[in-house]
Amino acid sequence: MTALQLDPVLVTRARELAARAARPVVDLARTHTTVSVERAVLRLAGLTGTDPVTGDGAATDRVPWVNRVVDAVRDQVGLEAGVALPVWHALASGAAPSLQALAERVGAGTARFTVPTGADAERARAAARAAVAAGLARIDANRARREELVATHGDPPRRPWIYLIVATGDIHEDIPQARAAARAGADVIAVIRSTGQSLLDYVPEGATRTGYAGTYATQENFRLMRAALDEVSAELGRYVRLTNYASGLCMPEIAVLAGLERLDMMLNDAMYGILFRDINPRRTFVDQRFSRMVHARAGIIINTGEDNYLTTADAVDEAHTVTVSQLLNETLAKEAGLPDWQLGLGHAFEIDPDRKESFRLELAHAMLARSLFPDAPLKWMPPTKHMTGDVFRGYLLDGFFNLAGALTGQGILLVGMMTEAVVTPWLSDRDLALRNVRYVLDAAGGLTEDFAPPPGGFIDRRADTVLREAVGLLEKIADHPEGLIQAIADGTFGITRRPADGGKGLDGVVALAPDAYNPALELLEQETARA
């Protein structure tokens, strides 16, 4: 594909403004921690399991040990110094023979924590660093294993990769459906989470069968699905990737679990949780930086959620807000150590199909994203907002979406279904949707080599307009002392206002003391500095 000849001065200006607008968020994340970041440290150090079962024994009735320990440390000494120093000081002092045993003493109410100083603090730091390094070594081994399997089985023979959602609520039902989807042509299987999991301030444990409109994201569910897709990858002779969601109140922990179980992509965007789940902005931006550093280490491609803005805002009038968010997400991701190949920046095919020139506008927006981020595996989302019960119209819209993806060289193509956002699609809808994608990509995939909109033409002019509008908005955001945080409060994205001190999870944010210590951040930042 011939990229659009965007004004290089304008592009440089856009990135400079995005960096300025994002700086307050980076400063916030560097000077604060959250309960979920601290729980992620314990998960990297190997703490798993839950306290004794309560209720009927379902996964959502059990409180993980990581929650119990972090809550106990917070109650006794606060989290301003982090969880690592008091926990490993307790272990070094003989309070328990292992991290697991210490957690059980927390559950029994007999564990006592203090923040060490001097030689005791140095001893606790060294022990915590060694424990967390073991978890990161497992993540490193999984990244190497992925590279081995890709070398053995091969990648899909063409781009974009076909991305399909499978989620019944029952992991044991998801697995045969995921295998069938891979055999039918899917390159990426996404297991969407159970409704409301993003608002749980803990990660359920074990294999689950009771999700609603999705399946709970748990470490065991990750392990089971990855193993199943490894089997089908060997059968098909191409590596099938697995996606889940590192968002919501447990973003850092789920990122760690994804690394520990070799997931390949993760939905990871603080903006989605802020705008559409009313999670506190400060909480989720702190969580996002840590989770993205884990993803960078694990070789996981992140997917961002700009497509969601266009479900609440007009896709033409607010197109520039998608570009602004992509530029901000790029800035925040690279600060956390993610290179271009791991940036699955989002955008969507959501212009009203009754609007004149709608397809040309869609092409302009898609080509703008592709030209701004030439080395990123962009994630292109199908039409949902303007889907109706007319399955023939829906099938045609999905065909146009697939064609736009082929023409503009998108990296990841989420399969659209005829009744998307109207009813829960049937399995037959999924089969027809995969046939639609395969037909278009086989018939028109090579057209990307020939598709070159002329300079000064409709597509070129529209892309330039959106980019200039994006720069104008970035100037306003960058000039405000709180930058992006204030822009969100003003309703800039998705016409949804979220104040900095509102939403869920603010009580889990803690300002760090000068002597704070997080061994995971120390090791991850060392890796980022070397990159």
Active-site residues, by number, are: 272, 307, 379
446's CB contacts (< 8 A; 6+ apart) are none
Interatomic CA distance for residues 228 and 223, integer angstroms: 9
User: What counts of helices (H) and strands (E) characterise the chain?
Assistant: 19, 11
Q: Are strands 343-344 and 346-348 parallel, antiparallel or unpaired?
A: unpaired
CB 395 within 8 A of CB 436: yes
DSSP characters for 31-75? HEEEHHHHHHHHHHTT---BSSP-TT--GGGPPBHHHHHHHHHHH
Interatomic CA distance for residues 363 and 461, integer angstroms: 12
CB 70 within 8 A of CB 41: no
Task: Give the 3-state secondary structure of 81-141.
Answer: CCCHHHHHHHHHCCCCCCHHHHHHHHHHCCCCCCCCCHHHHHHHHHHHHHHHHHHHHHHHH
Cis peptide before 160 (omega within 30 of 0): yes
